[in-house]
Amino acid sequence: METARQIVHLDALTGLPSRASFEQGLAHELIQAKRHGRSLAVLFIDIDKFKSINDSYGHGMGDLVLLTVANRLKSFVRGGDMVSRWSGDEFVCVLLEVKEEADVARFAHQLVNRIAEPCEFNGTVISIRSSVGIAMYSAHGEEADILFNNADIAMYKAKGSKKRVVVFHTDPTPL
């Protein structure tokens, strides 16, 4: 019974909260943010060119990269913040009780730098690059699905940018 519960609540590879568990946590935090007039930030994080890592080094190496990114995310966020593997090579993070967009952007840049620190697996050094899109409650949406969508759109804009790895979605209406 406990193993079944863990399967539902945890990602099998990374041990991070599952998507369903993360969505429940975010729903609770949005209620709290609304009730107490707080802001929060949703960060959509994608590992750049992950397919080429799998193609070049194999899926076992890809799994090690995902595990490394998960551990770096867990160790980087504050205790009350949430991190989850969303799917494949995508992760999401919710930063609670944030004050300024500039602070979130600074945090996201530091996070990208932390993810990019070199890693060595069995003598092979791999450089991990990531792109981050950010949506802020309530400036970029008030519902979880809108925030996720806007952060995802921002992440794709970040992927298309050579200079910027962090992009705020500025149009609060989803496509």
pLDDT in tens, 111-160: 999 999 988 988 999 989 999 999 999 999 999 999 999 999 999 999 98
CATH number for 2-168: choose from 1.10.3470.10, 1.10.357.140, 3.30.70.270, 2.60.40.420.
3.30.70.270
* pLDDT, tens digit (0-9, with 9 covering 90-100), for 81-97: 999 999 999 999 999 99
Q: What is the CA radius of gyration of the chain?
A: 16
pLDDT of amino acid 116: 93
116-122 own/partner pairs: CB under 8 Å, 24+ apart: 117/72, 119/65, 119/68, 121/61, 121/64, 121/65
pLDDT of amino acid 1: 44
pLDDT of amino acid 166: 81
pLDDT of amino acid 175: 41
- Contact status, residue 83 vs residue 107, Cβ threshold 8 Å: no
Which one of the listed residues 11, 81, 89, 152 is annotated catalytic?
A: 89
| More confident: 166 or 102 | 102
As given in the structure block, the two tokens for residue 40 are 């929060």
Measured between alpha carbons, how far is 100 from 155 in angstroms, rounded to an integer? 19
Closest CA to 132 of 32, 42, 49: 42
pLDDT band of 163, cuts 50, 70, 90 = low
Sequence spans of domains, the chain? 2-168
Instruction: Reply yes or no on whether 81 is catalytic.
Output: no
